[in-house]
């Protein structure tokens, strides 16, 4: 059975899902958008600011699950505008340094008008 992962230092799920689940030694995070946990709102209006918040949120979820970005094996990234790809990569690359497998696609819309969403798969010991 999968263990649900939850932390108050990342945004609560905005639907019927968990922030992450742990199955064996694998962590599957739900997609994170740039919601600031303290306010429940997206405060950044540009791709850099939103990407920074997304990565902070993911860091907190991974920490709660007993792992970190160095143990990420796969990411899936969603951009509202593919023209933001280069700017997104600048911030993403500050956090994801081990170069895991990745998919990055543009989508029509993201929840709450977000510009970026990222989900990861990581391992623990």
Single out the residue of 115, 111, 62 nearest to residue 91, CA to CA: 115
CA distance 106 to 82: 5
Active-site residue 77, yes or no?
Answer: no
Contact 58, 120 (CB under 8 A): yes
Single out the residue of 49, 53, 24, 16 nearest to residue 36, CA to CA: 53
CA distance 92 to 50: 11
Task: Spot the catalytic one: 68, 104, 121, 124.
Answer: 104
Active site amino acids: 104
């Amino acid at each position: 059975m999968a263990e649900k992962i939850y932390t108050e230092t990342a945004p609560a799920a905005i639907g019927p899902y968990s922030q992450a689940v742990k199955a064996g030694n694998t962590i599957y995070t739900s997609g994170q958008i740039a919601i600031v946990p303290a306010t429940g709102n997206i405060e950044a209006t540009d791709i850099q600011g939103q990407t920074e918040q997304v990565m902070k949120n993911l860091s907190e979820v991974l920490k709660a699950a007993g792992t970190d970005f160095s143990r990420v094996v796969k990411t899936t990234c969603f951009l509202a505008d593919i023209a933001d790809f280069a700017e997104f990569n600048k911030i993403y690359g500050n956090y994801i340094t081990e170069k895991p497998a990745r998919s990055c696609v543009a989508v029509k819309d993201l929840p709450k008008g977000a510009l970026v969403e990222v989900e990861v798969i990581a391992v623990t010991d």
